[in-house]
Amino acid sequence: MKATVLMLAMCLSAAHAAVKTCDAKAMGAVADGKAKDTAALQKAIDTCAAQGGGEVLLAAGTYLSGPLDLKSHVHLRLAKGATLLGSPDVEDYPIRADAPWRRVSLIHADKAEDIGIVGEGTVDGQGQGWWTRLLNREKGTPGEVRPMLIDLTNSKQILIEGVTIQNSPQYNILAVLCDGLTVRNARIVNPGVKAPNTDGIDPVSTSHVLIDHVFIDTGDDNVAIKSGLVERGDPDLPSSDIAIRDCTFLHGHGLSIGSETAGGVKNVTVERVTFNGTTQGIRIKSARGRGNDMGPFTYKDITMDNVGTAIQITMYYTGFKGDEVAVPVTEHTPKFHDITIENVTVTNAKVGLLAMGLPESAIKGLKLKNVKISAERGLVARYAEIAESGVTITSTGDGKVGGKKAEDGAGNGPGVVITGK
């Protein structure tokens, strides 16, 4: 037995020794939160990559930095007590030539593989200045282009684990055209409405995604699965094979699929997620000219309390005008199908279930099993095929939301509207 333990210890030591470590402080990083460590941090990344990969260690301290280019086979390890602090200077974040709707971000990677951001430390984007300028801009003027906190493009085998990610100028984690993204045992925190558009995790035309044991409290979608915006000319490539499990979402706009779904979304599974205080819970959203094929999706073992709309499935994300007229189906007509929602308990919601299909494209195969909802308003539905088993939707209000009737102004009981079946 002792020999076996000794051999195991030797193997573990050898495996640990095989991981090359580049210490950022040894490369000249000051880590005092005042002097910019951008050059030293990038030198550590480049040195590590040139050696075939390994870990760039950020020991305890505060590393003030502009954008960093993460290279293949390199993992940033933020030790306990380490903070990577984004520079507040706008000029440090140039607008991307290939994607003018976003700037070069604090941590970015293009065409990289086997990369990671791990450890017990914190990535802090110092987004307050960006949020303030956006919220205080002159009415009717566009906001400035903002950087993300972590921006990954055309990359694969990505691990984000253990870290706290906070105060992003815009989206916290954006993955575009990536394959193999794991976000695990992480925290994403932004101060609610004071931090506009601070989505937690946005996979865009990205496949093989795992979001596991992640806490998100933020100022927009907690998670938003997308696949491109038609008017921006994004490629029509789907997001697919996505699993979200054992997560907790506080403030934010819920777990969204959409609304930018030019390439469609396929094979999403959500299990054991808790929502508390989000404006929406389960949210699938698109609109004419913005969608594609979307399904199958499975949601199971979900708990919600004090949410706005518990389940929102809508093809009218850009606005409902009460128009019953069908229009020709196109490549970018949203097509929602095969959506299973099972073992869901909702308390203290404003709206229980909103299911809004189009006259030319009904929601098909929406299955509700063992769903218990208590809400001020129960059900609003049109152009949706719904099969239910063991469903209880209790309306605690007068059939109005914010003093207004539901979108179609019709109903067959307090808090319940079903049309277009």
pLDDT tens track, the chain, 421 positions: 434 333 333 333 333 345 789 999 999 999 999 999 999 999 999 999 999 999 999 999 999 999 999 999 999 999 999 999 999 999 999 998 888 888 999 999 999 999 999 999 999 999 999 999 999 998 888 889 999 999 999 999 999 999 999 999 999 999 999 999 999 999 999 998 889 999 999 999 999 999 999 999 999 999 999 998 877 777 789 999 999 999 999 999 999 999 989 899 999 999 999 999 999 999 999 999 888 999 999 999 999 999 999 999 999 887 777 667 888 999 999 999 999 999 999 999 999 999 999 999 999 999 999 999 999 988 888 888 888 899 998 888 755 443 333 333 333 222 233 333 3
**Nearest residue to 255 via CA among 335, 209, 327, 310:** 310
Q: For residue 200, what are its two tokens? A: 């937690």
DSSP line for 88-143 = --GGGSPBPSS-TTSBPPSEEEES-EEEEEEES-EEE--THHHHHHHHTSPTTSPP
pLDDT of 414? 24
pLDDT of 120? 98
Q: Is 318 helix (H, G, I), strand (E, B) or coil?
A: coil
Distance between CA atoms of residues 150 and 106, nearest Å? 6
Q: Which residues contact 202 (CB under 8 A, 6 or more apart)?
A: 171, 173, 174, 175, 221, 223, 224, 225, 226
pLDDT of 324? 72
pLDDT of 275? 98
Amino acid at 206: T
pLDDT of 99? 84
pTM for this prediction? 0.90
